């Protein structure tokens, strides 16, 4: 009988993480954001405040899943800044901190980071921004 590489018992906890194309996701961070506009009165204290431009920052980190035996990356592991993407961890219909994710709205990759090591699998961090008032389709 061959030896199994992993033996598990019981129920593994599910934390809701989903792998993205080309990335074995280890963690996801959601950061809801708004710009704050203030006005000061004659006493130089803020007496008016407006919160505008709602958006949802999303960042995920994980191992790059090689698409070929040569280790080439694919999918979101190769995403470049400015690319419009669909994320499994912020999918159409999800509600995250009051943001109803809609697939027609824009989720754009910001500046990804790839990390290589001589002892660990290659990893990538992909920050992205979901904008609920911007259509993800070309105008």
pLDDT per residue of the chain (139 residues) written in tens, 0 to 9: 689 988 889 887 777 889 999 999 999 999 999 999 999 999 999 999 999 999 999 999 999 988 766 667 888 999 999 999 999 999 999 999 999 999 889 999 999 999 999 998 899 999 999 999 998 765 4
Q: What pTM was computed for the model? A: 0.82
Domain ranges of the chain: 23-135
User: Is residue 96 within 8 Å of residue 31, measured between CB atoms?
Assistant: no
Q: Which residues pair with 52 in a beta bridge?
A: 35
Tell me if 58 sits within 8 A of 3, measured CB to CB. Answer: no
Instruction: For 124-135, give the DSSP string.
Output: EEEEEEEEEEEE
What is the spatial distance between Cα 14 and Cα 39, in angstroms, rounded to a whole number? 46
Beta bridge partners of 38: 49
Question: DSSP letter string over 1-21?
Answer: -PPPS----SPPP-----PBT
Q: Tell me the three state secondary structure of residue 77.
A: helix
């Amino acid at each position: 009988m061959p030896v199994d590489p992993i033996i598990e018992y019981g129920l593994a906890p599910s934390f809701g993480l989903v792998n993205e194309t080309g990335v074995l996701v280890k963690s996801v961070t959601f950061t809801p954001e708004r710009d704050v506009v203030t006005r000061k009165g004659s006493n130089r204290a803020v007496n008016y405040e407006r919160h505008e431009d709602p958006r949802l920052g999303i960042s995920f980190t994980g191992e790059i899943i090689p698409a070929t035996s040569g280790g080439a990356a694919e999918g979101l592991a190769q995403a470049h800044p400015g690319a419009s993407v669909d994320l499994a961890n912020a999918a159409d219909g999800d509600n995250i901190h009051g943001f109803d994710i809609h697939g027609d709205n824009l989720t754009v990759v910001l500046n990804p980071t790839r990390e290589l090591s001589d002892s660990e699998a290659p990893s990538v961090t992909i920050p992205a921004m979901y904008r609920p008032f911007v259509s993800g389709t070309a105008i």
